[in-house]
Amino acid sequence: MTAAPTLGVIANPISARDIRRVVANAGNLQITDRVNIVLRVLQAARAAGVVRALLMPDRAGIRALLERHLKRGDSSLPELHWLDMLPSSTVDDTFVATRLLQRAGAAAIVVLGGDGTHRAVVRELVASDESRPPIVGLSTGTNNAFP
């Protein structure tokens, strides 16, 4: 019997928060919006058989809101674990999280972010000799060319 897959999640809390949003009168994606996206992804993953998810921690509020949600006892989610890393609120968080997810054997990595976040994940995957799990790119950036 094979073990249930582990899903990795990298959710950039600061994508789409640059001056282009202000100048263009564009909307922005609040932390609560990002948390709702992550929750829907995790619920779908659980329905597909994922029992464990590893998430990148942050200092902007995604983790805090997810943990508050978990206190309500949501059984529709896989078991959640935070990667053992200290967030810096820089692109280094994405680099470190990608490496940790590879080492942990994530079967796939869901990426919420802009072009820069997705490039950072791909850069780390390509540079590594370890397994290269597929990524699921969800655009939450300012002007996404990718995905």
Provide block-wise average pLDDT over 10 residues at a time, the chain (147 residues): 84 75 68 94 96 96 95 94 96 97 97 92 93 91 60
Q: Is 10 helix (H, G, I), strand (E, B) or coil?
A: strand
Q: What is the pLDDT of residue 29?
A: 77
Task: Indicate the pTM of the whole model.
Answer: 0.90
Domain at 73, CATH number? 3.40.50
Whether 144 is covered by a domain: the verdict is no
Is the Cβ–Cβ distance between 42 and 74 less than 8 Å? no
Whether 147 is covered by a domain: the verdict is no
Q: What is the pLDDT of residue 129?
A: 86
Whether 58 is covered by a domain: the verdict is yes
Q: What is the dihedral of CA 98, 101, 102, 103, to 10 degrees?
A: 120
Whether 1 is covered by a domain: the verdict is no
Whether 42 is covered by a domain: the verdict is yes
> Structurally, how many domains does the chain consist of?
1
Whether 146 is covered by a domain: the verdict is no
Domain extent at residue 10: 6-139
Whether 60 is covered by a domain: the verdict is yes
